[in-house]
């Protein structure tokens, strides 16, 4: 019977011993599977423990080699001993971490041993014991079947004997009838009677065997089989109970193992909470105190070939330079002070925000706020450096001028008044600060060329039709205070070198003339005008001929020097089919207002070798004098020794504004796949010698201007955009 009074196999599963026995076999297989599971788990725990021990040993070896540098530095100024590292809270925490790993590895070994001794072995013993009990029950079942079959066989045998006796009785009866008148009639009668007695005995034995067989059958199915099935059920119950008990013991073992691991983690957490950055920093300071003397100030060092003193020159001509420079410094200080104050307030607010986000992580990502705070601090630092430079420069000049600061406005300034030609420090023009050129060779330069004006590139950039109003620069940006990497001279009007010139002194410049017969040319169609020049023949005039027969020029590589005036032809107009139109010089605005009136006339721009770059990182402009850059954006770099990559440390100059050169890479290949000019068009319409430098100017509703440079090593064109075309413009004029 079931121990809990539930259903029993004997009552509800009559004559199903084989099926119940199959269930017992499945349960034994389950025990074997679970035993193998824990056996393999124990092997994994031992393997994991070995790897943990190896890991902890490697960490301990590395710690022993690096702990001194970590605690007192690689070159401490104070003697230390083996106990010094133990003073570091970080060393204690790291030691506890390694110790925790080592102890955890040993705990895993204990777990493996416990699983083997308290789970695997008991399961194996239970499996063997249950297998023996099951075999005994099976043997008992076979004996019951054999006993039942024997009794069934007795009934059958008695039935056969009864049938035989009945046949013998019939034989003797017939024999008696045949010998009724015979002398053997009496003997036949006696034999017949004897056979009837034997037949009746066999009948009685047969009837007894029937009764016995029925009784045994009833007992077998009503008592013996149910009892056997109940015994099997009881064995299964005991097996499962033992099985569950062993598994519960396994869980207890693992819980104890987890408690041990948790204790190690708690100890490590306590050691980590005890880490004191200030205490460790104090320890590092204590072992690294060294005498320090600030570097001495620099003083004036006179030239070895010219005797001079360290006082600033305030003679009339140098004073103009100082007054202009002082004016620029004060103007920049007026712009910089509010920006610096704003950045300091921003840094203070971000510092408070960092503290709030650090104390309450639910507010958001404290790391991003910290990055913003550090960026603000860095900006404040650089703005502070700029202010220190400007204020020191202003104080130095003011002290030298002794109150004579001049009119603080643009004024007449001639660079030839110096033994070494220089530029005005106020407006950076090589000649007249008002923009009006005085004297010269009289080539009839138009006002659009001679009135080129560019303010100091450290505050703004004006080029190719995009003038930036100085009043809009209310908030200076980091590029506004970038220092130029070298002293430069801005380009003047352009001129073409007619003949090759080889220098004979260090003050002269090598110049290459245009190839004969290919000085310039024009191709025109109904909606497209193309003007081309040989780029190698273009230079930029820095100082005109003052009667000596020499002109100071600069080529596109940035080299400057003197060339004979007779070797140059000023480019006062660009060629057209019948005449030359007025051509703006480099950096001058390109007007497109009159393009719609005559679709075949466009203003042209002198072409020189250019460089284009493509953005690889986004950059957000911090003022109107800078440019928003997106990944893939293409922008043309300006030419000359003071433009492009030569603008300032950390900044490049483009056709419109400035941007950090670190966000750009060189652009290769075509920049506008939709443009249908390029190599195939030039091969059909232009001489091969003239494909080095081409100007494309499109006439139409908006007259967008493109400049390009032939790249023979790439067999493609690179385009620098003066004003970006609309989708409508990109298809007109092709």
pTM for the full model?
Answer: 0.48
Whether 451 and 336 share a structural domain: no
- The pLDDT, as a whole number, for residue 68 is 87
**Chain position carrying tokens 């850059």:** 629
The tally of domains found in the chain comes to: 3
Domain presence at residue 367: yes
- What are φ and ψ of residue 694, in 5° steps? -135, 145
Whether 521 and 573 share a structural domain: yes
Whether 475 and 622 share a structural domain: yes
Task: Tell me the DSSP string of 44-105.
Answer: HHHHHHHHHHHHHHHHHHHHHHHHHHHHT-SS-SS---TTSGGG-HHHHHHHHHHHHHHHHH
Q: In this structure, what token pair is assigned to residue 361?
A: 């992580």
What's the burial of 663, exposed, middle or buried (CB within 10 Å: 0-12/13-18/19+)? middle
CATH number for position 243: 1.20.1270.60
Domain presence at residue 161: no
Domain presence at residue 201: no
How far apart CA 586 and CA 589 sit, in angstroms, is 9
Whether 424 and 405 share a structural domain: no
How far apart CA 489 and CA 561 sit, in angstroms, is 12
How far apart CA 88 and CA 72 sit, in angstroms, is 9
Q: Are 546 and 416 in contact (CB under 8 A)?
A: yes
Whether 392 and 442 share a structural domain: no
Domain presence at residue 398: yes
- The pLDDT, as a whole number, for residue 342 is 92
- Paired residues of 619 in beta bridges: 629
143: helix, strand or coil: helix
Domain presence at residue 294: no
Domain range for 228 is 19-153+224-279
How far apart CA 650 and CA 659 sit, in angstroms, is 9
Whether 270 and 336 share a structural domain: no
Whether 398 and 432 share a structural domain: no
- Paired residues of 717 in beta bridges: 710
DSSP 527: S
CA-based torsion, 552, 554, 555, 559: positive or negative: positive
Whether 378 and 514 share a structural domain: no
Final residue before a domain boundary, out of 259, 279, 299: 279
Cβ neighbours for 126, distance < 8 A, ≥ 6 positions apart: 31, 239, 242, 243, 246
Final residue before a domain boundary, out of 409, 434, 455: 409
Query: How many other CB atoms are found less than 10 A from the CB of residue 231?
Result: 18
Q: Are 589 and 465 in contact (CB under 8 A)?
A: yes
Domain presence at residue 198: no
Domain presence at residue 683: yes
Domain presence at residue 682: yes
Whether 443 and 580 share a structural domain: yes
- The pLDDT, as a whole number, for residue 458 is 36
How far apart CA 372 and CA 709 sit, in angstroms, is 42
Final residue before a domain boundary, out of 381, 409, 437: 409
The full length of the chain comes to 734
- The pLDDT, as a whole number, for residue 40 is 95
- Paired residues of 706 in beta bridges: 696, 721
- For the chain, which ranges sit under pLDDT 50? 410-423, 425-475, 485-489, 515-536, 573-609, 656-734
Whether 706 and 683 share a structural domain: yes
Whether 333 and 475 share a structural domain: no
Which residues in 465-598 belong to E strands, given as ranges?
494-497, 520-524, 528-533, 538-543, 550-554, 560-564, 568-570, 573-575, 580-582
- The pLDDT, as a whole number, for residue 409 is 53
- The pLDDT, as a whole number, for residue 250 is 94
Whether 617 and 569 share a structural domain: yes
Task: Tell me the DSSP string of 330-368.
Answer: HHHHHHHHHHHHHHHHHHHHHHHHHHHHHH-GGGS-HHH
């Amino acid at each position: 019977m079931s121990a809990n009074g539930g259903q029993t196999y004997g009552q509800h599963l009559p004559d199903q011993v084989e099926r119940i026995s199959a269930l017992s076999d499945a349960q034994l297989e389950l025990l074997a599977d679970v035993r193998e599971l824990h056996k393999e788990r124990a092997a994994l725990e031992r393997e994991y423990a070995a790897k943990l021990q190896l890991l902890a040993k490697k960490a301990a070896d590395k710690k022993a080699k690096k702990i001194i540098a970590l605690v007192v530095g690689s070159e401490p100024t104070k003697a230390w001993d083996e106990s010094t590292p133990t003073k570091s809270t970080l060393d204690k925490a790291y030691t506890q971490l390694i110790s925790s790993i080592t102890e955890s590895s040993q705990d895993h070994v204990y777990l493996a041993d416990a699983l083997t001794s308290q789970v695997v072995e008991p399961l194996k013993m239970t499996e063997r014991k249950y297998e023996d009990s099951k075999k005994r029950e099976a043997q008992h079942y076979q004996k019951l079947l054999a006993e039942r079959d024997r009794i069934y066989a007795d009934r059958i045998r008695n039935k056969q004997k009864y049938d035989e006796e009945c046949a013998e009785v019939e034989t003797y009866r017939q024999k008696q009838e045949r010998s009724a008148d015979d002398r053997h009639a009496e003997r036949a009668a006696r034999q017949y009677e004897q056979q009837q007695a034997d037949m009746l005995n066999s009948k009685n034995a047969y009837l007894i065997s029937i009764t016995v067989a029925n009784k045994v059958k009833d007992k077998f199915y009503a008592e013996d089989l149910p009892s056997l099935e109940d015994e099997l059920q009881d064995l299964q119950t005991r097996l499962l109970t033992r099985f569950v008990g062993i598994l519960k013991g396994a869980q207890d073992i693992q819980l104890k193992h987890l408690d041990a691991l948790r204790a190690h983690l708690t100890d490590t957490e306590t050691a980590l909470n005890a880490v004191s950055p200030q205490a460790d920093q104090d320890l590092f300071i204590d072992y690294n105190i060294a005498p320090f003397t600030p570097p001495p100030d620099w003083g004036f060092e006179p030239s070895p070939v010219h005797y001079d003193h360290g006082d600033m020159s305030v003679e009339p001509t140098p004073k103009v330079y100082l007054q202009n420079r002082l004016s620029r410094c004060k103007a920049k200080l007026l712009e910089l002070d509010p920006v610096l104050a704003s950045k300091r307030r921003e840094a203070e607010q971000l510092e408070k925000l960092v503290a709030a986000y650090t104390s309450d992580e639910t507010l958001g990502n404290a790391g991003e706020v910290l990055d913003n705070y550090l960026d603000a601090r860095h900006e404040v630092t650089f703005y502070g450096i700029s202010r220190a430079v400007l204020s020191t420069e202003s104080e130095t000049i003011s002290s030298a001028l002794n109150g004579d600061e001049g009119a603080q406005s643009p004024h007449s300034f001639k660079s030839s008044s110096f033994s070494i030609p220089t530029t005005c420090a106020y407006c950076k023009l090589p000649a007249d600060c008002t923009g009006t050129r005085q004297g010269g060779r009289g080539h009839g330069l138009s006002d659009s060329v001679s009135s080129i004006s560019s303010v100091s590139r450290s505050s703004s950039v004006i080029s190719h039709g995009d003038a930036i109003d100085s009043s809009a620069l209310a908030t200076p940006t980091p590029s506004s205070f970038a220092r130029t990497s070298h002293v430069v001279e801005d380009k003047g009007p352009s001129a073409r070198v007619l003949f090759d010139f080889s220098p004979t002194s260090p003050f002269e410049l090598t110049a290459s003339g245009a190839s004969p017969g290919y000085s310039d040319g024009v191709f025109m169609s109904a909606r497209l005008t193309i003007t081309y020049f040989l780029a190698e023949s273009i230079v930029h005039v820095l100082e005109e001929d003052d009667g000596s027969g020499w002109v100071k020029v600069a080529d596109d590589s940035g080299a400057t020097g003197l060339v004979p005036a007779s070797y140059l032809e000023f480019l006062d107009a660009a060629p057209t089919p019948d005449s030359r139109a007025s051509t703006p010089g480099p950096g001058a605005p390109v007007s497109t207002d009159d393009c719609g009136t005559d679709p075949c006339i466009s203003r042209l721009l002198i072409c020189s070798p250019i460089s284009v770059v493509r953005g690889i990182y986004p950059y957000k402009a911090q003022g109107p004098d800078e440019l928003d850059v997106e990944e893939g954006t293409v922008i043309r770099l300006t030419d000359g020794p003071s433009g492009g990559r030569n603008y300032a440390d950390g900044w490049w100059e483009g056709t419109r504004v400035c941007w950090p050169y670190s966000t750009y890479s060189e652009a290769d290949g075509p920049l506008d796949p939709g443009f249908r000019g390029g190599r195939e068009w030039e091969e059909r319409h232009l001489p091969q010698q003239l494909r080095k430098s081409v100007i494309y100017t499109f006439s139409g509703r908006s007259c967008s201007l493109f400049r390009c440079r032939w790249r023979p090593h790439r067999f493609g064109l690179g385009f620098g955009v003066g004003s970006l075309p609309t989708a409508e413009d990109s298809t007109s004029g092709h």
